[in-house]
Structure formats: structure tokens, C-alpha cells
A and B are shown apart, each in its own frame.
With several copies, the nearest count.
Chain A
């Protein structure tokens, strides 16, 4: 930095521990209103802490507010501008939904309250279930999974349980059972990880030069007889709709397997087409993508699992069901895969998603899908002269480019991404999917207007120009942030994962 740069206080906020000052206090409790029991009677000394919580910071309330406000300004966020992370569906997070989630009758409701005293909450969940069933065309639903990967795990476990029940295999015959899960090589990493967690062996299916699932390879793999199912993302992670979806489902079904759909990309389909109508058996939705519940810097999410009525008996318990005017929690499901989370899922996210659905209305849901796909098309169209677009098909809600044309000058996807920051945009998803080199996956969502899309396109074109005329500017980007590119390799070699007083640092 040049001499104009100074130790700017809000740009150099320390760690909260470094800010701590003995004796500061940001909290006050009402005075204890019961007779005090001597500490030793309460709890023997050997069960009590001895360290006086050393190291936990001591701060006044303004210290805390200033600290977190300052560091917050180091974040990009949706309310600032386009956040076109492909596969992440960073759409507008309505404040109305936040308000709904904070209504005291929901926020203060204990999960173990008598169901009779929590009918409103159960009704919310039940109504959301119904709408998600309608949207996916899959009638069985559990809202319990806490995120997409959790939904995947739940769904593939259901497949497993279903197959075992169907095929009548006893525990002894374990090895003979269907234990192969087919997953396209373009899939998100959670797919194989979830399949593995559910005890499946993962086999990768190749993608075609069109960016679609290779049917020949699929047929080949299905022929082995041990296929439990297929995990497919549709539109896939190249942003392309698997137009052979019915055929794909038929192949898998005929091979005795089931089709799991990763619903991360449902923002391309809501109100337009339903996975259930295509032959999908089970899907998870990401409420924190398609249904706009905020990502919160990495969660909470919510990954409801929707399935056919054949699979319904295997859904996690408890189920939220309706009996006349009353709502119940039903755990009497002998075939269930079990419970995947304490209580009933991320209820706060259910509220927000329901608020999203009701605010949009059925026509608004379709309108959002159309607008999202149209925006992606606009980008695809505007940038295909400038950047390599590995697949010809018109994209759905997100579009895939690569850095092929820029690498000649040594400029790679990472550099393009970092340089976008200087134009005020969050970068797109990079290096995913893994099947193309230097992937740049751009998902604008419906929440951005034409003018800003145009600005994004211009920024991308400008970067492409710079890559030729002034590569250094791109290679050294970003230039407008308080810190530059960080040495991640060094960080992983000798990780420091926590603060410690003085020089004690944790390495692992």
C-alpha cells in the first residue's frame, strides 16, 4: 500500500480476544431472586470449572457492536449487489420473511411443547409440506433435514431401506444387496459423500460432450445388477436440463434402481416442470437456495426430502400429519430410516420458505423461474463471444464458461474471479463442476435487473480485454479490498485454527 494508506481503524479491527479488557462487562442480569445456596452444596468443587473461563473476552456492549459492525463491512452480500455463485441461487432474502420468523409465538415455542399447544407451528410445517409436494410432484415429505447434504443422506438412506424391504434381503445377505450408487462426474461433492455415508459404493457416470449424462455409460453401469440408484442433478451442474430425463429414469428403474434428484437447481423448474412427473423417486430441496431462506454466511439451511408414495413409509420420523382439524407428530412408522436430527428440522427456515411461497403466489413462483432462466440466458448470450462456453445447449438458470481463451496469457479462472471483485461483483462459482477445466458457473437468479446484468457483462468483457492487454492487473487482483489474495496453501500446511493468548497457537 502506498503512503496514503494508514492504520484505518475499521479496516484493522483486531480479534475480539485482542480487544478484551479485564473488568469490562456487556451484560446485566436481574438480581438473583431466590435464596442463594452455598456453592459447595450446589455442586462439589471437583465438578466445577477451575479456569475462571480464562481467555473468554470481557467487553462492553459498544465494544461488541463496533467489533461485529466493523468486520461485517468486510463481507460482500446480496443486498450490495449481484452474487452470481452458480449452484447457490443467491436470490433476494426478504426482510418480511425475517420478520415472520421472529414472531414471538414461533420464536419462543419450545420443540417439546405439547402438540396441542403448538398447533400453529405444526400447521405451518404441514402447509409447507403440501406446497412442496405440489411443486415437486412428489407427495411424501419430511422437513427434518437441516441442509442439502443432509437431505441427500436421508434420501439415499430411504432408497436403501426401500430396496432392502422390496428385495427382502436379510442382514446376512448384506453383500448381495444393491450397493452401487451411480453419480455423474459433474455432481456436487456432497452427492458421493452422502452416498458413502449411507453405505453405498459410488460409481461415476461420464458426461457427454454436450454436458449431459452419457446414456450409454449409464446403461452399461446399470447392467451390472447391483445398482441401487442414480443421484442426478437436474438441470445439472453445467446448467443444462437433462432432456433425456425420462429415458434416464426408465433405464434406472428397469435396472431395479431408484432415481434420486439433487434439487439444488430447482430454481430452474419451480412452476414449470415437476421432478415427480419426470420419473424421479426422491429429491431434496434447498430451502436456502430456491426458497430464499438466507445463507447466513454458511447456513442455516434446510433440505426437505420429497418422495413418491412408495418411498413415503421410509421417511424420517416424526412425520407431521393432519387429522381433521388437528396436526400431529407421528412416529409410528416401522419402516422409517429413523431420525436424522433432534426435533423437526430447521423450523425457522420452514417459516421463511412458506412466507416466500405465499408472497409469490403460484403465478409469482413461475414468474421467478422464468425471470431466473431469462437472466442466465442473457448472460450466456452476452458473453459467449468473449468466453469459452464448453457446451452449446442454451442454459437454464445458470451458465457455464471456462477460462480457455484467457489462459494463453496466463490468466485463469481464479484471476478472473478475483478481478470481478474490483468491479463490485461477487465472483461466480469457480472450478465447479470438475468436468470442465477452469469452470466459471454463473447464476444470476431472478433477483437482478437488466441494468446490473449489463454491468456484469461489461465487467466480464473488460476483464477479458485486460487479460490480453494488461494481464498483470488481473493476475494481481483484487486491488480494492483490505487484504489481497491469501496464501491458502501455507495456511493448510500449518493450520492455526484458534486464537490463544500470547504465542500459543494451535497447529494440527
Chain B
């Protein structure tokens, strides 16, 4: 096998030097009846040429990857500068382990420290961790953390949070003694409808997403004030981190915890993963955070370096009393996001956000002008919005794909059966005007 340095002859020599006759003897401690008889029924080895052909032909079956698309809903088509992928492919980054030995892991550690800072800057929060698996698990961890911080056990989640995020949270908290309540959606604005009655002293946190699943920008400031008045935390979920280039930051609105998906920041769609969860909070809650944290440390000569810190929150020290079970996180994706954010920089992040919003506004105008189509929600949006079709949306979108080679958006019916004709359209800086025009035209005829 070409990845194994020691040749069969070398291995035979090594075996002999150990006093063994065959490789089988290496496994003497395994009970004979537990040993595999015969070879695995997995395929025989492929050469590089064959392997690439194989995967290319599988990839070719993913027609959706080649089509102009208006899908968002938690995963966004943004353009990542070429250097993002080249830099993360340096062996020094991608083949390193978690930085347990700081003297020879300063590259990773400094990059994480920069990542933490950038996440704070974007979200407007004080401290951020080294990453979570993704936005959905970040939200679940935020709910668990809110319980730790407040010692209260009810959590109210907006119905306009990404349905899959809600499902993940339900799984995570199922055995944590947390009760999840729901806040409805205002049918007119598309924003979370606040039910003051539900907000009593048992509520640990109010969880909203902004822009929410329907694309509507929530009034976070108002939500924060109400949550805080009841002694609850405001957890803000962000699936479209590009919006942070334009929207007031959750921190500035009063959020206590921000749980975001960082995929928009230079990470390929890759059929849903790997992405990167961003997790940030206020300074006073830092020791309640899940996940790794990197902090500044100095050596004996006073030179600045970086180390994993506050490890007493973590599983390898605290075991079942840890703030989370997370160990491996999304290091390399966090690095990609860091490189993306620094390459775009202050102006670039703003420009991407502005273009997304501008193109979405244009798309809204074009689509609203199509006979029979309307925009059911009135709240301001960033780059996603719900369209109401005169016909059943799922079928319409399939026809659009087949006849116009366009992925027009996401039918809401699988998540919201009561919305058969609604679909979610997402526009980013990568959608050209021509594509938007084609979408509007296609909707008119599909």
C-alpha cells in the first residue's frame, strides 16, 4: 500500500526482530473467535487515476452543483478568495493536531486567537470561543449554557429559528431538564411574535434568529430589553454571518449569547459540512462557555505566546462536570473564516453585505412584479425572503429546475406544511443580475 512506508520485507524483518513469525501474532491478545476470518468485503484498492474517475463521475450526478441557485436557509453561496483555500492547505495548518503543545503550535494558536477576536468584532460580543461544530450545535450549547448561567430551566425559542437548529436543540436538551417553549411568528411582519405572558421568572433565555429563517431581520433590541426585564438571557442565532457586515451586531442590541453559523465566511457549501459554529458571549459568562479558548501567555523571557486556557471548563479535566463534551471542533474551518475575514477586511465585509442586500432588494422587486407572486412578510430583510406563489411551491421549483436550469429556492412546505405555496429565496453577491432576471422570468412561466 503506497501510503505505508515500511515495505512488506521491512515489516517481516521487524517482526522477526520482535521474535514474531507473522503479522497475525501481533493480534494474539484478541480472542480467536473475535478475529475476522477472511478479508473485509470492501472493494479492492484503486489507483489515483481510477479513484478520481470514480469521484468525478459521482460528482457529475450532483446536477444542483452546476446550476445558478437561490438556496440559502443556513448555507450560503458566497465567493471565497483563492488564498483562503491555498493557505489552509499548507501542511503546517491542515495536518496539525489540536494545539496541545504550545511551543510548536503557535501558528494554530495565534490564528484561533485572531478568530476569537474577529468573531467578537463581528457579533459585537466580548469573548468568543475557538469554534463549535456548526451553527445548530452552537445554538444547542447556548441553550445549555443559558441554563447554567441562570439556573432556570425554561427556554423560549422563536418559531422563526431554522427548523433544523430547533431539532438539534431538542435533541441536545432532551435529557438536561430543560423545557423548550415556542414563540410564534407574526403572520404579517414575519418577525417573532412576543408573548409576554410566557416570559416569567422560570425562563432562562429567549432564543431568536436574525435574520430569521424567513429572512426577516428581528428587532433584537426590543427582544433583549424584554428578556432582560424578566431576568432571562437573549440568545441570538445567526445563520447568515455575511449579514453582520451590514446589520447592527447582536452585541450592540443587547444579546447575551450569540450562536452563529460561520459558513458564509469563506467556507464551501460542501453538501452541508464541514462548517463552523461561532459562539460568543459577554465577559462575565466566559467561564460558563463551552468549547476551547485560546488566551495570551508569556514565556520566561517575557515573549508573548498563546495557549489553550480555562481548560477547567472542559471534558479532559472536568469529565462529566464539563461545560460541554466537545473536544475536536472545527479548527481548520475557523482558520478559513479567519483568513476570509482578514482578506475582505473591514470594507470588504461591508461591501459583500451591501451587495447581498442590494441584489436581494432587486430580486424582491422583480419577483413581486411577476403576476400572481407576492411577498407575504413586511419586515426588513437582508438577503433572504419568502415568496408566495400562486401554485404549490415544491412543484413550481422542480419545473423551474427542469425547464430553466435554475434552483429557485427552498419550498417551505417540508418544514411548514401550512405554507404550501411559500418558498424561501436567497440572493448573494454571486448571483448575477441575469440570473435574477431569469428567475423572475422563469417563475412567470414555470
Contacts and interface: CB of A to CB of B under 8 A. Distances in A.
A361 B45 contact: yes
Interface in A28-52: 28-30, 32-37, 41-44, 46-52
Interface stretch (A75-83, A305-313, A403-411, A461-469): A75-83
A124 B269 contact: no
Contact of B343 (A26, A135, A297): A26
Interface in B304-331: 305-307, 309-312, 314-322, 324-331
B146 interface: no
B188 interface: no
26 contacts: A13-B110, A29-B352, A43-B247, A58-B347, A59-B342, A60-B4, A64-B339, A112-B74, A113-B65, A134-B42, A147-B327, A196-B322, A274-B34, A298-B331, A341-B273, A342-B134, A344-B272, A358-B46, A359-B45, A368-B3, A374-B11, A421-B101, A446-B3, A449-B10, A486-B305, A492-B295
A147 B315 contact: no
B6 A15 contact: no
Contact of B333 (A21, A107, A300): A300
Given A28-B2, A272-B35, A349 B274 contact: yes
Contacts of B106: 71, 74-75, 482-483
B355 A29 contact: yes
Contacts of B50: 30
A274 B130 CA distance: 35
Contact of B101 (A37, A73, A76, A496): A76
B1 A367 contact: yes
Interface in B265-280: 268-274, 276
Question: Interface extent on B, as a size class?
Answer: 35 or more
Contact of B96 (A63, A76, A393): A76
A206 interface: no
Contact of A394 (B5, B29, B110, B137): B29
A152 interface: yes
B176 interface: yes
B103 A485 contact: yes
Interface residues of A, number: 216
A295 interface: yes
A152 B320 CA distance: 13
B93 A297 contact: yes
B328 A59 contact: no
Given A190-B327, A337-B171, A421 B104 contact: yes
Contacts of B301: 1, 484
A508 B310 contact: yes
Nearest to B79: A29
Nearest to A143: B273
Given A48-B246, A131-B42, A197 B325 contact: yes
Interface stretch (B194-202, B224-232, B368-376, B429-437): B429-437
Residue in B79, B174, B317, B319 whose Cβ sees the most chain A Cβ within 10 Å = B319
Contacts of A79: 91, 95
A245 B31 contact: yes
B425 interface: no
A59 B343 contact: yes
Interface stretch (B80-88, B150-158, B384-392): B80-88
B133 A146 contact: yes
Given A296-B331, A448-B5, A491-B307, A342 B168 contact: yes
A374 to B, nearest CB: 6
Contacts of B14: 374, 378, 450
Contacts of A80: 91
A74 B59 contact: no
A478 B306 CA distance: 16
Nearest to A107: B268
A357 B1 CA distance: 12
Interface in A117-150: 117-121, 123-124, 131, 134-135, 146-150
Q: Which 8 A-B pairs have the closest CB atoms?
A: A361-B45, A296-B332, A105-B59, A199-B175, A343-B272, A508-B286, A298-B331, A111-B272
